[in-house]
Structures are given as structure tokens and as C-alpha cells.
Amino acid sequence: MAKTLTRADLSEAVYQQLGLSRNESASLVEHVLNEVVEALLRGEQVKLSSFGTFLVRAKGGRVGRNPKTGQEVPISPRKVLLFRPSHVLKDQINAGTSGGAA
């Protein structure tokens, strides 16, 4: 099973790379993530160079169908979060390398 990267892992990486205290590292990670969330809530795109772009898109309501019963079911309008990876990230993933860019 693949490992999952957590906030704690990010904080530890900041601690190891930058030499901040563990508390300062955790606080920095939280501030960055909170800023990303706040920007998305304001309807802004979040573009991280060499990584990708996060954006929120509004989807309209529609009528769907239950695949088991075939019964029509209304689907409410909602917002969805999209992530578009950069070409740099795609190339790194396809090459199987970690260039350290983020």
C-alpha cells in the first residue's frame, strides 16, 4: 500500500530542510495551507509554479440516473475543486523522478 503524505510529514520536512523548530515548522505549514484554502474560498485560483493550479468551479444542477434502478434523481448545484498539474509535474511523474520542485 502506498504511503500517504500528511501535514505532520510536511512539517517534519520543513523542520529538516530549514532548521526551524518543530513548532515553527508546523505553524508555517498550517499558515500556507490556510492561505490556499482562503484564496479558494474567495474564488481565486491558486497557482504553484512547477506544481499545478487549484480552482473552484460551480456545477449546475441536473437530473442524474441511479445506475441500479434506472430511476431519475435530481443532482443539486454544487462547487467542485479542480487540480490541474503543471507540465513540469506531469513530466516528473511520467519520468518517475523527484526533481525537488514544488
Backbone phi, psi, residue 2, to 5°: -70, 145
- The boundaries of the domain holding residue 62 are 45-102
What's the domain count of the chain? 2
What is the C-alpha separation between 64 and 70, in angstroms, rounded?
A: 9
Same domain, yes or no: 61 and 94: yes
Same domain, yes or no: 23 and 50: no
Same domain, yes or no: 34 and 55: no
pLDDT tens-digit map of 20-33: 999 999 999 999 99
What is the C-alpha separation between 24 and 26, in angstroms, rounded?
A: 6
pLDDT at position 69: 94
Model's pTM, two decimal places? 0.77
pLDDT at position 86: 97
Q: Which regions of the chain are under pLDDT 70?
A: 97-102
pLDDT at position 2: 82
pLDDT at position 98: 67
pLDDT at position 83: 97
